[in-house]
Amino acid sequence: MKTLIMMYGLDEEKLGLELFERLVNIYPEAKGKYSFPNIGLDGDDPRSQQVLDCLLEHGFSPSNDLGLRGETEFGMNLVRQYDSHDLEQASYLVLTPAQFLGSNFTTTATGVVQIPQTSAAATSSIGHIDYGRTLVSQKINEALLKEDMRHLVLRETVALDDDLLTAEEEKAFWELTSDLTLPPLSPTMYKVDKSGKMISGANGEEYLLREGLSIPDVLYRPPELRYTSASFSLLPAFDVALTLERAGGGNSQWRSLIVSQRMYQFCTKHSLQIDWQPVRIEK
């Protein structure tokens, strides 16, 4: 695993030409036409710390506020990049399809996903839509049914303008979900509002999940999901489950899919494009 340092809101005008050029001299390949950096800085590269030290020396600091930044603040995210070894060692992982299929999906009164006739899903094996719901193709649906994945639920979808589709096309996509809800996340995770203030999330207000409330923990995107081993010991064996929490804001509120190593190996075997993230089980 390595960590990328992503910075936002730093340009030549804000920094001043002298500081801008000094940063470019430290990390030349990160130079944009008018901004710095225009790439993620390697967290293991000592030059990345030199860049941060230089910014701090000149009065600039990363903001942990999700809203407007002050004149001397800049946005910064820490992004973990996992290799195959990291993913193969994880007992459980977050499954997030890499492809966003669009926001033009609707649902019926009973919550069944309705597929637009012109949807990008038509050429996809797996993808996600608003509210984090995951769709798979008929081919992947059939392959999953042969594996007897524990607590997996494959829900039929319906097609809009179905009078223009064949019976086979109407059953082309399935929602991948689960009938098992996990216990609450570990107390070492925090719910915050859009300003970064900690909230309970118990009253239906929108919230985001964070690994901590101060730098650097608050800057990890996406945050690493954590559970206690005690809470997981009470669960039945599963290959697919849903988080209890519905994190995000507006249409991005969703329950994440948590899957087993067995499900990870299935997706890898079928070359499904997924942004994987290990789940940490704390003792």
Q: Across all residues in the chain, what is the average pLDDT?
A: 89
Predicted confidence at residue 130, as pLDDT, reads 75
Residue-wise pLDDT tens digits, 145-180:
999 999 999 999 887 765 544 445 555 789 999 999
Q: Please give the Cα distance from 131 to 142 (Å, whole number).
A: 24
Predicted confidence at residue 165, as pLDDT, reads 47
Q: Please give the Cα distance from 157 to 139 (Å, whole number).
A: 15
For residue 66, give the amino acid letter: L
Its pTM stands at: 0.89
96 Ramachandran zone, left/alpha/beta (phi>0; psi -120 to 50): beta
> Mean pLDDT over residues 32-55, rounded?
94
* ∠ CA 27-7-10, rounded to 5°: 80
| Helix boundaries (H) for 146-246 | 167-170, 229-232
Q: Would the pLDDT of 121 be above 90?
A: no
What phi and psi, each to the nearest 5 degrees, are found at residue 207? -150, 165
Q: Would the pLDDT of 194 be above 80?
A: no
Residue-wise pLDDT tens digits, 14-28:
999 999 999 999 999
Residue-wise pLDDT tens digits, 204-263:
788 889 999 888 999 999 999 999 999 999 999 999 999 999 887 544 557 899 999 999
Q: Please give the Cα distance from 239 to 261 (Å, whole number).
A: 8
Hey, what are 102's tokens? 């669009």
